[in-house]
Structure 1
Amino acid sequence: MTTKLTGPVVVGIDGSTIALDAVRAAARTAAGRHRPLRVVHAFIWPIINVPTGPISGGVADGGLRRQAERYVTEAVAEAGKVAPELDVTGAVVDGAPVPVLLGESRDAALLVLGNRGLGGFAGLVLGSVTVQVSAQARCPVLVVRGEPRADGPVVVGVDGSAGSAQAAGYAFEEAAWRGVPLVAVHAWLEPAPAGPGDMLPLVYDPDLLAAQEERVLAESLAGFAERYPQVPVRRRLVRGSAAGALVRESESAQLVVVGARGRGALAGLLLGSVSHAVLHHAHAPVAVVRHTPRQPRA
C-alpha cells in the first residue's frame, strides 16, 4: 500500500489541548510530504436542534458556532507556527464527529486525531471517536499519543494477512521518508487451523512451527524490502502476545503501524484485538491502516 498521491492531510479538532498536539503533528507531516493541511471541527449542535447563535443580551461574539470557529482559527494559527509556509485551511462542518471525519477520509492522504478529546472521560484511555474512525476510515489514520520523538525506528506488526500487508507497505514508506530503520514484529501463541474444519495436532514440533512463522514474517516483507532497499529492516519473531510485543517496541519507536484487523480478528469487531490494545497502550503515535480490497472493474 502507498498513500494517496493527492489529497490533504486532515486533522480533526475539538478545542482540547490534545487536539492541538494532533495539529502540530499533522502540520509537520503535511509540510514534510508537501501536502496541504485541512483543519476540521465537527459541529454537532445544529443537527440536534440546539441554538448555536449568541444568547440574547450576551456578548456579540458569543454562541456555540462562534466558539467552534475560534477553535478552528486557533488550530490554523498553531499549524502556521509549526510550518509557516504550509497551505492551511480550516472548516466547521455540521454533523457528528464520526460521520464528518469518515467523510473527510475519502479524499484525504492521511487523517490525524488526538487519542482523546473534550468528550473523553478521565478513566478512558482512548476516545470512542478515535476508535470508530480508525476502524472505518478510507485512508490511514495517525493517532497522536506519547511524546514526539525525532529518533527511533518505525515499528510494524505483521501476521501474513492482507491487512498487515497494507500496514507493512505504509510502514516502509514512512521509514523511507523519515530515514530510519524498520522493525517488523511477528508474534504467535499456538498453532492455528489453516481453514474451517481443520484439526490441530495434539503434538507439534516447536522448531518446525518457528520455521513456519519465520516464513510468514519473511514473506510479509519480501516485496517491500526490494522496493525500499534503503530501509534497514530488523525482524522480531516473538512467541507470545503480539500486542504486548508491539507495545514494548513502541517505547523506543517514533511510530507504530498496525492494520485495522488481522487474520485473527472477528468480523463483528470494529478493530482487531491487537490494534485496539496498541491504540490504548502504545508509548508512541500509532498509524492504523485499514485494508481496502480493490473493487472489480466494470
Structure 2
Amino acid sequence: MIERVTVAVDGGPASDAAVEWVIHRTRSTKLALDIVAAVGLDSELPTGAESHFRTPFEDALERAKTRVRAAVPGLAVTTTILRGLPHDALITAGLRSDLLVIGTNKTSPIAGILHGTLALKVAGQSSCITVVIPVNWAPGTGQVVAGWTNDPTSEQALDFAAAEASGSKVGVMIVHTWTAAPTSAGTPAAIVDEIMTTNDLLLASAAYRVETAYPNLSVTQALHPGSAAVAIVRAARGASLVVVGSRGRGAIAGFFLGSVSHDVLLNMPAPVAVVPKWDAPVDVYPEILDEDF
C-alpha cells in the first residue's frame, strides 16, 4: 500500500522542517507526495504581462519539489496551489490524504498561541492524521510515545503509534494517567488503590494488545497520576514522535481538539501526530481567526 502524504509549504523554515520530515519518512514508508501551498483569498496572483513570473507560492513549491526529488529520486511528487482560508484549504486537501504534514514556528508554550494556531485548527478538523513538525526538528532514534486512555480514539492512536514504531525499528511507550476524584485529597486510600489497580490493568491490556500484534516491538508502560498532557510531554523528551487522539468537543464543551491534544501541541516535545475521531468531524474553535497565526 502506498501512503498518500500532503505537506504544506510556505517557503519558511518551519515548512522546510516538514519537508525534511517527509523525506526522512520515505526510508520506512512507501508514499506518494503532494506538496501544497495555501494562498489566502486576499493574495493577488500576477496577471497579464507579469503572469509568466513565478509567484512566491510557486517558488516555495518548486524549491520543495526540487529538494524532495534530489533526496528521493523516483518518488511520485505533485505540487498544488490551494486557494481559500489556509486552514479550510488544508483540511480539504486532507480529504484525499492519509497523512497531512504541517510545520510550525512554535518555540515555546507562549509562542504557541501566536504561531501554532493554524496547526491547532487543522488538526482539530482534519479527517486524516495530522502531523505537526517543530521548526527545530532533526532526525532521531528516540521511541514513539503514545498518549492512551480507554476509548476508541485512543485505541486508533495507539495502533498508529505501534505501526510507526515498528516501521522505524524503535520502541513504543504507552502513557496513561489517572485521577481519583475532583476532591482527590480527601479520597480514602482504599479507593485510590482500587483506581490505580484498575488503571494499571487497563494499561497492561493495551500493552498486551500491541505486543500481540507486533511481537518484535519493545513496548513500555507509564502510568501516572494527574494531567495527561504533562505526563505525555515529560515522557516525550527525546522521542521521535508523539501520538495523541483528538476527542474534539467544540468550543462550548471544551477545547476544539480536546484538552490533551491541544496542550501537547502547545508544548511540542517532538513531532506530534494527531489521530482524528473517525466517526464525526470536529468543530473548529470559532474565536480563533486566521489573523491569529
Short-chain TM bin: 0.7 to 0.9
Secondary structure of the equivalent of 1:14? coil
Please tell me whether the aligned partners of residues 43 and 97 of structure 1 are also in contact (alpha carbons under 8 angstroms).
Answer: yes
Residues 218, 112 of structure 1: CA spacing in aligned structure 2 closer, same or farther, 3 A cutoff?
same
Query: 1:30, CA displacement in angstroms?
Result: 4.0
- The one of 183, 191, 203 aligned to 2:188: 203
Distance 1:122 1:212 in 2: 38
Distance 1:123 1:28 in 2: 25
1:289 corresponding residue in structure 2? 275
Query: 1:230, CA displacement in angstroms?
Result: 1.6
Please tell me whether the aligned partners of residues 39 and 84 of structure 2 are also in contact (alpha carbons under 8 angstroms).
Answer: yes
2:24 corresponding residue in structure 1? 28
Please tell me whether the aligned partners of residues 178 and 196 of structure 2 are also in contact (alpha carbons under 8 angstroms).
Answer: no
Please tell me whether the aligned partners of residues 7 and 107 of structure 1 are also in contact (alpha carbons under 8 angstroms).
Answer: no
- The one of 206, 212, 223 aligned to 1:226: 212
Higher deviation after alignment, 201-210 or 169-178: 201-210
TM-score under structure 2 length normalisation: 0.83
Q: Alpha carbon RMSD of aligned pairs, Å? A: 2.9
Distance 1:150 1:284 in 2: 10
Count of aligned pairs: 273
Identity of aligned residues (%): 31
2:232 corresponding residue in structure 1? 246
Please tell me whether the aligned partners of residues 161 and 262 of structure 1 are also in contact (alpha carbons under 8 angstroms).
Answer: no
Give unpaired runs (5+ residues) of structure 1: 193-200
- The one of 70, 92, 95 aligned to 1:103: 92
Query: 1:7, CA displacement in angstroms?
Result: 4.9
1:151 corresponding residue in structure 2? 141
Distance 2:177 2:248 in 1: 12
1:198 corresponding residue in structure 2? none
1:195 corresponding residue in structure 2? none
Please tell me whether the aligned partners of residues 248 and 255 of structure 2 are also in contact (alpha carbons under 8 angstroms).
Answer: no
1:73 corresponding residue in structure 2? 62
TM-score under structure 1 length normalisation: 0.82
1:161 corresponding residue in structure 2? 151
Query: 1:135, CA displacement in angstroms?
Result: 1.2
Give unpaired runs (5+ residues) of structure 2: 281-293
The answer to whether the aligner puts 1:53 opposite 2:46 as a matched pair is: yes
Matching residue's letter, 1:86:
L
Name whichever structure is richer in helix by fraction: 2
Query: 1:27, CA displacement in angstroms?
Result: 2.4
